[in-house]
Amino acid sequence: MKKYLPIIVVILVLASFAYIVVEKKKLQQPNAGVNEVYNIGTFVPSKNCAKLPNFLQKLHIPQPVMIDLSQKKYKGIALLFDKGFSRALHPKQWEQYGHFSTYALDDKGNIYLVPTPFISIEPTTFNLQKNIYKVDTNTGKVSIFMHLDDVHPASDNPYGINAIVYDCEDKTLWVAAIDESDYQSQKGVIYHINLQTKEIMQKIEGFDVLSMTLLKSKQGKYLLLGSARDNGLYAYNMHTKEKPKKILELPSANEHIRKIKIKSANRLELQSIPFSYTLIAQTAEKYRTLYDLKWDFKKMKWEIVKQ
């Protein structure tokens, strides 16, 4: 037995060394740790400073009012009101710039809109995707608020600016564009914009955003980001400015988060759609799935809340 002891020791040493090398390689892989929980801390919905446009009062339109961008009945934007939202305000001028995907309301009642290509590509499609649009709170007129020169949609990826959120604290806009991305590479850009000067204050490059919202927790202030790339929800810490970190994944790999709502304390509502950087009828209700998620502190994981 003694004569085999050195051989056994050598084998054990080599096995230990091999294990260390394998584990080190795992840590060096780009996707290592994506399934680890990134805890953003406890949170509650922030007070919303947004208000409805002033022109609604002049037109004697009663609240509640719903902003409709579904494109099902009205091109562009429509404001629905009255019982069951059965009536609509939809001036013809609101169709001038084509279709919109989402919006942000500021504290004065201005509506900021981002475009979307819809069903088919037209001669004006690509130019329309480069702009942020605005419905003026007093006049109700839709116009181009800001043009982003470095956004370049094309036939293989017709999407340009595609997500937006208004920051009530510093009265700025956050918008995202995914025009440069393709199936192999993620080249999306998030822009932080000064509303008064239209200056781009910050760029976050290399992340494809499909949806976003703002969240304040006990650990800091975050941009929550629904990825256009995968089925994940990510958090960007505005203080540390580190690369966005994944905080949860939807059950299906084919789902992408299109809407994010902070529903209540430590609870999120997510709406998902299929997304592939190509034109499909993504407004159809049959493609949309709602998830009600709550952070379970005991299990340290997100749980789907049973309806």
Write out the chain's pLDDT in tens, 307 residues. Answer: 444 444 444 444 444 444 433 333 333 333 333 345 688 989 999 889 999 999 999 999 999 999 999 988 999 999 999 999 999 999 999 999 999 999 999 999 999 999 999 877 888 889 999 999 999 999 999 999 999 999 999 988 999 999 999 999 999 999 999 999 987 899 999 999 999 999 999 999 999 999 999 999 988 999 999 999 999 999 999 999 999 999 999 998 889 999 999 999 999 999 999 888 877 544 444 567 899 999 988 888 899 887 5
Q: What is the DSSP letter of 50?
A: -
Is 24 within the bounds of a domain? no
Asked if residue 137 belongs to a domain, the reply is: yes
The token pair at 120 is 């088919």
Tell me whether residue 262 is in a domain: yes
DSSP string covering 163-197: EEEEETTTTEEEEEE-TT--SS----EEEEEETTT
The CATH number for 75's domain is: 2.120.10
Cis peptide before 6 (omega within 30 of 0): no
| Residue 30 placed within a domain | no
pTM: 0.85
**Residue 74 included in any domain:** yes
Structure tokens at 40: 């953003």
Residue type (1 letter), 29: Q
Domain count, the chain: 1
Tell me which residue range forms the domain holding 223: 42-304
Answer whether residue 187 is part of any domain: yes
Alpha carbons 212 and 124: distance in angstroms, whole number: 26
DSSP class of residue 47 equals P
Q: CA neighbours within 13 Å on the CB side: how many for 244?
A: 24
Could you report how far apart the first and last alpha carbons of the chain are, in Å? 66
| C-alpha pair distances (Å), 273 with each of 284, 289, 305 | 9, 7, 19
Beta-strand pair 267-273/301-304 = unpaired
In degrees, to the nearest 5, what angle opens at C-alpha 267 toward C-alphas 264 and 270? 110
Answer yes or no: is 26 within a domain. Answer: no
DSSP β-bridge partners for residue 213: 224
Do the domain assignments include residue 4? no
Instruction: Spell 114-149 as b/e; 16+ CB within 10 A means b.
Output: bbbbbeeeeeebbebbbbbbbbbbeebebeebbebe
